[in-house]
Structure 1
Amino acid sequence: MQEVYEFLKQCGTYYLATQDGDQPRVRPFGTVAIFEDKLYIQTGKVKDVYKQLKASPNIEICGVQEGGKWIRVAAVAVEDDRLEAKQHMLDAYPSLQGRYKADDDNTIVFYLQDATATFSSFTEAPKVITF
């Protein structure tokens, strides 16, 4: 899991895919943190992505680094509404603190459960990690 976290942090922006009815939806994300030995992402409850995650928590993340290496992470996104989990994410991303507060009615974090991460490139065999 640490290797997945570090890869996504180095990407800066990664892409999160959700399901909206029968239509896939993909959008850029940038938050990732490890809290209590789980990999977390963050969003706002007012966003469509939150509604999609509530309706269907199966997600896929894709990130690409310079040099042509990429990662795909398939997982189940599990909502964690605890203040300490939200505050941990906001502490890791101070730039979000102008728009989000741990105790507001909008901030929400999800941890990845039953995750399979596949590291790929055009020059190396794929590497798979589960957590």
Structure 2
Amino acid sequence: MQEVLDFLKKCQTYYLATLDGDQPRVRPFGTANIFEGKLYIQTGKVKDVAKQIMANPKIEICAFNGQEWIRIQAVAVADERVEAKQSMLDSYPSLQSRYSATDDNTLVLYLQDAVATIASFAGEPKVIKF
């Protein structure tokens, strides 16, 4: 899981895919954090992406670092605990001007049943499950 986090942080931006009814939606994200042995992402509850995840929690993440790419398929599970939210906000101080661990908007989600595949054109893919 740490290798997956390091990959995402090195890329800085990853792309999160959800479903909006039968229409795929993809958007850039940048938050990733390990808290209590789980990989978390963050968004706002008022955003369409949050509503799409609540309707269908199956997501995919993709990122490219210039030589390798990662694809992560997972189920996104909301964690409403203040401690989980604060851990994310502590990892990304720039978010603290827009989000708070105690507001009604901050949403942190951990990745459950995740399968991450790191691949390149140079070798065999590496699969990491967590």
TM-score if structure 1 supplies the norm length?
Answer: 0.98
Work out whether 1:119 is the aligned partner of 2:92. Answer: no
C-alpha distance in structure 2 between counterparts of 1:127 and 1:63, whole Å? 15
C-alpha deviation, 1:24, in angstroms: 0.4
Q: Within 5 Å, give how 1:66-85 maps onto structure 2.
A: 66=66, 68-85=67-84
Residue identity opposite 1:38 in structure 2: K
1:29 aligns with 2:32: no
CA–CA separation in structure 1 for the residues paired with 2:8 and 2:96 = 21
* TM-fit CA distance, 1:15: 0.2
- Measure the CA separation in 1 of the matches of 2:50 and 2:108: 10
Q: Indicate the residue corresponding to 2:63 in structure 1.
A: 63
CA deviation string 1:19-75 (max 9, x = no partner): 100000000000000000000000000100000000000000001102x20000000
Q: Aligned AA for 2:21?
A: G
Paired AA for residue 91 in structure 1: D
- Counterpart of 1:109 in structure 2 is 108
Which segments of 5 or more consecutive residues in structure 1 lack a partner in the other structure? none
TM-score (norm: length of structure 2): 0.99
Counterpart CA distance in 1 for 2:55 and 2:16 is 15
Structure 2 counterpart of 1:94:
93
Q: Which amino acid aligns with 2:88?
A: M
Distance in 2 (CA, whole Å) between partners of 1:83 and 1:116 is 27
Task: State the shift of 1:124 in Å.
Answer: 1.3
Percent of aligned pairs with the same amino acid: 71
Count of residue correspondences: 130
Q: Secondary structure of the residue that 2:49 maps to in structure 1?
A: helix
Question: Could you list the runs of 5+ residues in structure 2 that have no partner in the other structure?
Answer: none
